[in-house]
A = this chain, B = another copy of it.
Amino acid sequence: VAAAGQVARVAMARLQGVKQRNNRRAIPTSRDVAALAGVSQSTVSYVMSGKRAISEETRRRVQAAIEQLTYQPHAGARALRGRRTNVIALVVRMRESLDPAGTIPYVETIVETARARDYDVVLVTTDEGPEGLTRLAKRRVCDAFVLMDIRKDDDRIETAAGLELPVVLMGIPEDRHGLDAVDFNTRRAAELLVDELADTGHRHIVLVGAGPNTPPRDFHFISEFYDGARQRAVLRELDFVVVEREEEGWTGIERAADRLLARRADRLGWIARTPQVTDWLLQLARLKGLIPGRDLSIVSLCTKTTATALTPPVTNVSPEPRDLARLAMTVLFELLDGAEPSGSVRLVEPAALERRETTALFS
């Protein structure tokens, strides 16, 4: 007890000394906590980590001291000694993002999930290239990587695979180099959309993609969607065409209107692959005096939120971004907890199709 008192006095002196010199509170260290609680510095560390048994009395005193000083452990010191940073690097494609608005929910969910396990997230852009990954790994800035917006021939994969750190790919490249990947089952989503149209007596399907700047063949989830829809249409004996816009934006839709409507009046269904395209197709119908759900159908791959926010509400299959982000983090935490990379792909299955006003019942 006498010793504890002495240590406490020393700590007070230190705090006051600093206060006098800087005229402002210094950020407390675990030594300050220890002194205030009258224990050794390592005991503070053990109280925080829970890695050894601590008497109730000691734990209480230490916790009180921690709260009184609002102590937080120095992240750098922890990383240096403990060889883990509690930081996850999230590598996203921002400059040429496929869907800027769509990116936010992913990022948000990943940050939330990370925080739930006391990880912070550093955000990196693909523009930094593979060297960016190497830099973060060698500088020990992070413990693991999540790579978003994976292209089939993504140049980050090989580098990431050589890093000896946990990596999860969101999206499926041609060569995974042994890394774990997660994605939506967009093939299955396409099948559900085609089935909906088949089941309701449609004859002709037009699949409308996002346009010239997003080449379907560069991204696995897009080509899967196309292939799935096409094959299902064959199976269900429906006429099937893809209309690729030759121009971006609304103009692209307007210019393609003739092709989109070539089979008008004959049990026509449009499949929109993105929220934006869905909106435009509704707009086009409105402009042409066609009522979705009566004159033709519009079904869409978009979230429930988007589908119900549109007018009229659109029949959709939902690729919930949050589910995919959560799956990615589940896999990542397994790896961080010591699991061996399995090099496997895990898919998020689409929820059941939700029929809304834009499905026409022809049968």
Contact = CB atoms under 8 A, between A and B. Distances in A.
Q: Which 5 A-B pairs have the closest CB atoms?
A: A76-B79, A101-B101, A72-B138, A94-B108, A76-B76
Interface stretch (A43-51, A122-130, A178-186, A346-354): A122-130
A115 B91 CA distance: 14
Given A75-B141, A138-B70, A139-B74, A122 B123 contact: yes
A240 interface: no
Contact of A139 (B72, B103, B122, B125): B72
Q: Interface size class for chain A?
A: 35 or more
A77 interface: yes
A108 B97 CA distance: 11
B249 A309 contact: yes
B125 A122 contact: no
A56 interface: no
B122 A87 contact: yes
Contacts of A87: 122
Contacts of A248: 309
Contacts of A124: 111, 120
Contact of A286 (B73, B120, B287): B287
Interface in A212-271: 248-251, 254
